[in-house]
Structure 1
């Protein structure tokens, strides 16, 4: 299989190494205007059997649409596009084409085990969920104005994995936020600390927290509590937290998301290369985006927002 890779930034470089070592990849064609890679050869990435898009967000919609028009199997890092309207346009352009969107938590062993346990009845009836995503340090100041805000940029992963693990849809959101750090978040109309309450379509409540200033390390967790048991994802030996009762990390805390989800990223690309049906479609990405849009609207207006309000 010939594979084209667009973008050689942090995650693109990781994908290049994964693809170069994959037994199904006979040739890797890479494209980046400023970076080079020891893996693959420069060339037209669309002259391939499959294309992987790891370029800046602003380019995703155009590149996805081009790949779909060419009928090429395509993987794209989230988000599909910068807005709901553009996402729907790409969805329409990609009808009938294999498109997989990069929500790597679906391929993390911990989340997979939690989904299997919940689906198999080990937790009983689910009553509550808690989600946490906390970065050890904020991204560059110039990134924040174009990020879409913490709910679209960061917590969209939480919204996607909530849907995937529980099999339920979010129907309403009450979100808030605070600025406890650098002024560039406030200047961009964003927040560096986040919290939300989400109600699922069966009445289950989910709480969410986030931070751009988790100095102990990268921390991503999910807790699912039911009538028979409680399961937690992300409490491994590298989780960056201490408990007064004696819990201590036994390994170096996770420094970033690429390191934390390295195995998931490899599994995600393997799935893309082998699958005949997308495990994470544009429709899935749009559903998570609707929740992010509702959360951002709730934060800005200080009220409960029904997800139906932001649907197009």
Structure 2
């Protein structure tokens, strides 16, 4: 039996989810001779101890002690502002790092981190879990196989059922950087094209406190790709029908919709149509449960040296570049041309 020990920093909502997924990997890996052990830490020590006890993991009092304990890989699930420092710590330890998106609060802060990773020859996987979702994977396969012809339009939607706490929104960087960055990443990943222009609009019709912290609760961005193709990326914090994440891909010979199933958070206005009949997803964790599990399994494979990095820091910063441009367009009211992604 080969033991792999992962260290996890941060046991908030998404950290607890990652911790549970890491532990559950053993159901699949142990029959293949691999045992995954989990060690974790958080500044909220009592909470972290409780989480560790519930999962059969080990609690460590600090990041330094955790890394020094001899882990094989580091998982970062803390607030965005801490990502650069923790990524550097993992790279310095010579171990593969998994970090939730984004690399840093904005592209300007991310570029020195990219330089550090490259100079140290580090391995850093960033958490864009949609790359592991079955629907997006099928859409990418179909497009690559030529089944859709050439794409003329893409329409991406990411809508939360209800907004997160305003305290989180005050530090999230804005709706485009928090939510739509996933859509910007998946559009680049699926098409293999770069987004060269963004024009964004936003509105606030919900809690005034969201506007008071400088964010919007609903936004739409028109994007233009380097081959002239067009796309739209919409997001909202108030989608009472449920958590709604979809991507419509229209090509010259075929079209596909990712996220169109019995749990899709919409209803038909046409007579006699009962689809979709299932109960809609309520949260992103529910919508992408299997994708998050597959993402963490991929990180273990990366630690073992059995696969290429499925989402590099460069990939993530390229998506953040688009999100930054969308935020700039939102604030200025003007289309924003994107500078060449020279870091790629």
TM bracket, shorter-chain basis: over 0.9
Q: 1:10 to 1:124 in 2, by over 3 A?
A: same
Q: Which residue is 2:278 aligned to? A: 251
1:100-111 aligned within 5 A: 100-111=125-136
**Alpha-carbon contact 2:102-2:316 (below 8 Å) kept:** yes
Q: 1:75 to 1:301 in 2, by over 3 A?
A: same
1:99-248 aligned within 5 A: 99-245=124-270, 246-248=273-275
- TM-superposed CA distance for 1:83, in Å, is 2.2
- TM-superposed CA distance for 1:309, in Å, is 8.2
- TM-superposed CA distance for 1:310, in Å, is 9.3
The answer to whether structure 1 residue 41 and structure 2 residue 44 are counterparts is no
Q: Which residue is 2:296 aligned to? A: 269
**Alpha-carbon contact 1:294-1:309 (below 8 Å) kept:** no
Cα distance in 2 for partners of 1:18, 1:137 equals 25
- TM-superposed CA distance for 1:191, in Å, is 0.8
**Alpha-carbon contact 1:3-1:45 (below 8 Å) kept:** no
Q: Which residue is 2:40 aligned to? A: 30
Q: What secondary structure, in the 3-state scheme, does the structure 1 residue paired with 2:310 have?
A: coil
- TM-superposed CA distance for 1:85, in Å, is 2.1
- TM-superposed CA distance for 1:26, in Å, is 3.5
Deviations 1:10-42 (A, max 9, x none): 111111111112234432111122223122111
**Alpha-carbon contact 1:176-1:299 (below 8 Å) kept:** yes
Deviations 1:270-302 (A, max 9, x none): 011103421101100110011001101111111
What TM-score results when the alignment is normalised by the length of structure 1? 0.97
The answer to whether structure 1 residue 5 and structure 2 residue 8 are counterparts is yes
Q: What secondary structure, in the 3-state scheme, does the structure 2 residue paired with 1:268 have?
A: helix
Q: Please identify the structure whose Cα radius of gyration is greater.
A: 2
**Alpha-carbon contact 2:318-2:341 (below 8 Å) kept:** no
- TM-superposed CA distance for 1:303, in Å, is 0.8
Q: Which residue is 1:63 aligned to? A: 86
Name the stretch that deviates more: 153-162 or 23-32: 23-32
1:85-96 aligned within 5 A: 85-95=108-118, 96=121
What TM-score results when the alignment is normalised by the length of structure 2? 0.88
Q: Which residue is 1:302 aligned to? A: 333
Q: What secondary structure, in the 3-state scheme, does the structure 2 residue paired with 1:146 have?
A: coil
1:77 aligns with one of 89, 100, 106: 100
Cα distance in 1 for partners of 2:178, 2:10 equals 19
Q: Which residue is 1:288 aligned to? A: 319
**Alpha-carbon contact 1:136-1:256 (below 8 Å) kept:** yes
Q: What secondary structure, in the 3-state scheme, does the structure 1 residue paired with 2:164 have?
A: coil
Note the residue ranges of structure 1 that are not aligned, 5 or more in a row: none
